[in-house]
Chains A and B, each alone.
Chain A
Amino acid sequence: MARIVFHDQLLPATNGEREIEVTVENYRDLLVVLEARWPGIGERLAKSAVAIDGQIYQDAFLEPIAANSEVFFMSRIEGG
């Protein structure tokens, strides 16, 4: 199962759970699973960036998530 890790700012929305494991095919499906588990978390996740297997996405959508994937939610990155 894929490993999903939440940063500290998301813990209030996950009832303190920092890490879970899920089986999904892509990021869109992951959001569906997370929203079902913690209603309302999608709004917070939309303000986060996400790293899937080391690659950082500001706006992930259909990126595949494999059984051994690591998914880290993180602060969005701005730049100059």
Chain B
Amino acid sequence: MAEAVDYKYIGTSPVRPDGVDKVTGRAQFAADQNMPNTLYGKILRSPHAHANIKSVDVSKALAMEGVYAAVSGADFPGGARGKVGGEGGGDIGDVARNIMARDKALYHGHAVAAVAATSLTIADAALAMIDVEYETLAPVLDVVAAMAADSPLLDATNFTKNLPETPDKPSNIASVTVLTRGNVDEGFEQADVTVEGEYHIPMAHQGYIEPHACTATVNEEGKATVWCSTQGHFEFRSMTSKILDWKVGDLKFIPAEIGGGFGGKTTVYLEPVAVLLSKLAGRPVKMMMSREEVFRATGPTSGSVCRVKVGAKKDGTITAAKAWLAYEAGAFAGAPIGPGAMAIFAPYVLENFHVEAHDVLVNKPKVAAYRAPGAPQSMHAMEIALDDIAREIGMDPLDLRLKNAASEGTRAPYGPKFPAIGFKECLEAAKAHPNYTAPVPEGAGRGVAAGFWFNIGMQSSAEVRINEDGTVIIMEGNPDIGGSRASMCLMAAETLGVDYERVKAYIGDTESTGFCNVTGGSRTTFATGMAVVQACEDIIAQCKARAAATWGVDEDQVEWEDGQAIPAPGVNADVTPMSLADVMASAHKTGGPLLGRASLNASGAGASFSVNFVDLMVDKETGKVDVLAFTAIQDAGTAIHPAYVEGQMQGGAAQGLGWALNEEYIYDADGVMENAGFLDYRVPVASDLPMIDCQIIEVPNPRHPYGVRGVGETPIVAPLAAAANAVRAATGVRINDLPLSPPNILAAIDSD
């Protein structure tokens, strides 16, 4: 593989192609879709966290002037079965019951009915006319209490999966995952020091700025078109098809520009409801969530309790590690315990370990993916434990990690050996970084932590079309949530040998481009990028064939160089090189327009590692934390568009710090979220954070034509423990729980 320095376009950071439209307001988001005669859909939500639904009567609402349709769970087919396609995001029957409750309301805010009316005011009034009879039940809100044998049950038909013996009683534990290697007891016997702790992290939301929104219209032939905010319109189409028992071919999904997703827009909430309402009303139906609805009813990430014990020798060698994880799934099974269990020890060489992870039902919203789902929670615990070990044996925390760092050939905790990875390179870069060699500011604390994410491949398609003037159009199917269009253009420009400015990338709807799995798992630049490269190679092959036909030589006597077909070395042909425009000029004679295409199920996504360190100050009178400096170092494989890679690293750091310092779902005893708005659920704002310093490490992924590793998820993992370790350094008090908010810090200081 060529080194990055050899590339002409890859590794440059041109202005983002979507930037002007976004800053001028021209970009069309889902809520911007307006059609004549559009109705407004609204959802009635459960006022109880846990209740049997005895009856739902929408007749009074339907009788109101201006109300065109009203539905409840009984109006939806009941037979949705099977796995959600793509990333393994749970059971489609659960998704169906999550978007509209049937016999039970399982969290405060759970949808129980919906209306479509000529105005939002009438729709709100209609919701108030719907009669729902509830039988309230005790809410299950604490993940550990939910696991007790005598806990009230969310689902009396849930029997814990993956146990050695099939249980004879139902439980709130949906499943258990175990990973083990070596002999943990013997490993701890070899240790000179051991540390252990219990670490609590509350639910946190992805916090995307754009609330969920969609418009659906069903025509006279019963075919629907849906405009929506999504990370994966093909999978939204599939889910809607299964939930409504409609043919996939009768559903067309058009992705709008997206205002953030971070994993939270990989599943449907409104779309099947809007389609059903539109079908009943015979008019388009627009649905838009309020911020409060987003908090109460869309996927946060799991709250967690992690118990970790780690043993090490005085020289820093980790001899054993043990972890017990309990993740909140919310109302339906599907907490990310598998990735959490596989990630917790992944950065380290470890011969003896045991992880047991539990997916636990609680009366809270069903969790959805959030950047590196499952990894931040478990790795927060491990990275704090390592910090405590480093302190006990008097070792620099980076040296401790270097002593145990995984590298090529290390057997990952989940089985296979790592191919080329860049963890050691990240650690060494951190040690040499001027922000690390600089003294810690007076009164501040410095914390270090590592991050990891697997990254995935999956299915992607791409087409490359050449215009008459040789300009290039890329059509692919992954909503751009982090700069993928620019990266696609750069890879196409590099492959074809044409200027970046002559390449444009578009996101096609479900009927204008080939299938692509969701934009998630840090897969898009890797997998869809691979499809774009292959589609460009298809174009090159066609151009070489047409040049050969034009020149009267064999195809293998033609090469492609700097954006044009040329005779191969040694070929005696007095011809003029043919650019894309030249080939197109004679395309009518040589076979018609140039259209390249590729589809694949990508494998070989390279794991990504990071190292973060942060300097922060704690006001010991108020408990307020001021972040003074934050440094993010990450292996990107090859940074296709370095500014976007830095943007991912900075965004992940900001979200991770928000989760570490302030963000949390706060519930009252009845299971009602008390801070369902950005005033009380405090995400970081610009004035809260310093400039996030980034250093991109490039250890190319040998399984991608340009060495790409996914970069979007790893950045959120390390900030949680880095902040916790810095607070420990600044205050001398170890706080195992997040968030490190002023009241929590003050309480810890006071009780110390």
Q: Does B743 contact A (CB under 8 A)?
A: no
> B177 touching A9 by the CB < 8 A rule?
yes
Q: Which of A9, A51, A63, A79 contacts B416 (CB 8 A)?
A: A51
Q: Which of A47, A58, A75 contacts B414 (CB 8 A)?
A: A75
Question: How close is B48's CB to chain A, nearest CB, in angstroms?
Answer: 30
Q: Does B132 contact A (CB under 8 A)?
A: no
- The answer for the CA separation of A59 and B178 in the assembled complex, in Å, is 22
Q: Does A65 contact B (CB under 8 A)?
A: no
Task: In the complex, identify which listed stretch (B12-20, B259-267, B555-563) lies at the interface while the others stay far away.
Answer: B259-267
> A76 touching B206 by the CB < 8 A rule?
no
Among A51, A54, A57, which residue has the most Cβ atoms of chain B within 10 A?
A: A54
Q: Which of B338, B453, B458, B605 contacts A75 (CB 8 A)?
A: B338
What's the tally of chain B residues with a CB closer than 8 Å to chain A?
Answer: 54
CB-CB under 8 A from A80, the residues of chain B are 206, 261-264, 266, 368-373, 520-521, 712-713
> B369 touching A79 by the CB < 8 A rule?
yes
Q: Provided the pairs A56-B456, A76-B88, A78-B88 are in contact, do residues A8 and B177 lie with their beta carbons within 8 angstroms?
A: yes
Q: Does B100 contact A (CB under 8 A)?
A: no
CB-CB under 8 A from A70, the residues of chain B are 415-417
Question: How close is B178's CB to chain A, nearest CB, in angstroms?
Answer: 4
Q: Which residue of A lies closest to B518 (CB)?
A: A79
> B373 touching A78 by the CB < 8 A rule?
yes
Q: Does B291 contact A (CB under 8 A)?
A: no
Query: C-beta contact mask, A41-52 vs B, less than 8 Å → 1, else 0?
Result: 000000100010
Q: Does B601 contact A (CB under 8 A)?
A: yes
Q: Which residue of A lies closest to B454 (CB)?
A: A77
Q: Which of B205-253 contact A (CB under 8 A)?
A: 206
Q: Provided the pairs A8-B177, A54-B416 are in contact, do residues A76 and B338 lie with their beta carbons within 8 angstroms?
A: yes
Question: How close is A66's CB to chain B, nearest CB, in angstroms?
Answer: 14
Q: Does A74 contact B (CB under 8 A)?
A: yes
Q: Which of B416, B457, B521, B703 contacts A78 (CB 8 A)?
A: B521
Q: Which residue of A lies closest to B87 (CB)?
A: A78
CB-CB under 8 A from A60, the residues of chain B are 603
Q: Which of B140-167 contact A (CB under 8 A)?
A: 161-162, 164
Q: Does B734 contact A (CB under 8 A)?
A: no
Q: Does B73 contact A (CB under 8 A)?
A: no
Q: Does B551 contact A (CB under 8 A)?
A: no
CB-CB under 8 A from A11, the residues of chain B are 164
Query: C-beta contact mask, B707-727 vs A, less than 8 Å → 1, else 0?
Result: 000001100000000000000
Q: Does A7 contact B (CB under 8 A)?
A: yes
- The answer for the CA separation of A47 and B83 in the assembled complex, in Å, is 9
> A51 touching B414 by the CB < 8 A rule?
yes
Question: How close is A80's CB to chain B, nearest CB, in angstroms?
Answer: 2
Q: Does B675 contact A (CB under 8 A)?
A: no
Question: How close is B173's CB to chain A, nearest CB, in angstroms?
Answer: 14
Q: Does B197 contact A (CB under 8 A)?
A: no
- The answer for the CA separation of A7 and B179 in the assembled complex, in Å, is 7
Q: Which of B338, B415, B453, B458 contacts A51 (CB 8 A)?
A: B415
Q: Does A35 contact B (CB under 8 A)?
A: no
> A79 touching B418 by the CB < 8 A rule?
no
- The answer for the CA separation of A29 and B522 in the assembled complex, in Å, is 30
Q: Which of A8, A55, A76 contacts B178 (CB 8 A)?
A: A8
- The answer for the CA separation of A14 and B74 in the assembled complex, in Å, is 41
Query: C-beta contact mask, B401-431 vs A, less than 8 Å → 1, else 0?
Result: 0000000000000111111000000000000
Q: Does B341 contact A (CB under 8 A)?
A: yes
Q: Does B378 contact A (CB under 8 A)?
A: no
Q: Does B435 contact A (CB under 8 A)?
A: no
> A8 touching B180 by the CB < 8 A rule?
yes
- The answer for the CA separation of A59 and B88 in the assembled complex, in Å, is 11
Q: Which residue of A lies closest to B337 (CB)?
A: A75
Q: Provided the pairs A11-B164, A51-B416, A57-B603 are in contact, do residues A77 and B339 lie with their beta carbons within 8 angstroms?
A: yes
- The answer for the CA separation of A20 and B453 in the assembled complex, in Å, is 29
> B372 touching A55 by the CB < 8 A rule?
no
- The answer for the CA separation of A61 and B370 in the assembled complex, in Å, is 29
- The answer for the CA separation of A59 and B457 in the assembled complex, in Å, is 10
CB-CB under 8 A from A58, the residues of chain B are 87-88, 456-458
> B342 touching A75 by the CB < 8 A rule?
yes
Q: Does A25 contact B (CB under 8 A)?
A: no
> B522 touching A75 by the CB < 8 A rule?
no
- The answer for the CA separation of A72 and B89 in the assembled complex, in Å, is 21
- The answer for the CA separation of A80 and B455 in the assembled complex, in Å, is 10
Q: Does B604 contact A (CB under 8 A)?
A: yes
Q: Does B523 contact A (CB under 8 A)?
A: yes
Q: Which residue of B lies closest to A51 (CB)?
A: B416
CB-CB under 8 A from A76, the residues of chain B are 87-88, 338
Question: How close is A36's CB to chain B, nearest CB, in angstroms?
Answer: 23
Q: Does A5 contact B (CB under 8 A)?
A: yes
Q: Which residue of B lies closest to A76 (CB)?
A: B88
- The answer for the CA separation of A54 and B414 in the assembled complex, in Å, is 10
- The answer for the CA separation of A55 and B177 in the assembled complex, in Å, is 21
> A79 touching B87 by the CB < 8 A rule?
yes
- The answer for the CA separation of A74 and B177 in the assembled complex, in Å, is 10
> A78 touching B419 by the CB < 8 A rule?
no
CB-CB under 8 A from A77, the residues of chain B are 87-88, 338-339, 342, 454, 456, 521
Q: Which of A9, A54, A57, A73 contacts B419 (CB 8 A)?
A: A54
Q: Does A21 contact B (CB under 8 A)?
A: no
Q: Which of B162, B206, B520 contacts A79 (CB 8 A)?
A: B520
Q: Which residue of A lies closest to B263 (CB)?
A: A80
CB-CB under 8 A from A8, the residues of chain B are 162, 177-180
Q: List 9 A-B contacts (CB under 8 A).
A: A51-B416, A56-B454, A58-B87, A73-B415, A76-B338, A77-B342, A78-B88, A80-B261, A80-B520
Query: Which residues of A line the B interface, CB within 8 A?
Result: 5, 7-9, 11-12, 47, 51, 53-60, 63, 70, 72-80
Query: Which residues of B line the A interface, CB within 8 A?
Result: 83, 87-89, 161-162, 164, 175-180, 206, 261-264, 266, 336, 338-339, 341-342, 368-373, 414-419, 453-459, 520-523, 601, 603-605, 703, 712-713
Q: Which 9 A-B pairs have the closest CB atoms?
A: A80-B263, A79-B521, A75-B338, A72-B415, A51-B416, A76-B88, A80-B369, A8-B178, A78-B87
Taking A56-B603, A57-B603, A77-B88 as known contacts, 5 extra A-B pairs with beta carbons closer than 8 A to each other, sorted by chain A number, are A59-B601, A77-B456, A79-B87, A79-B454, A80-B266
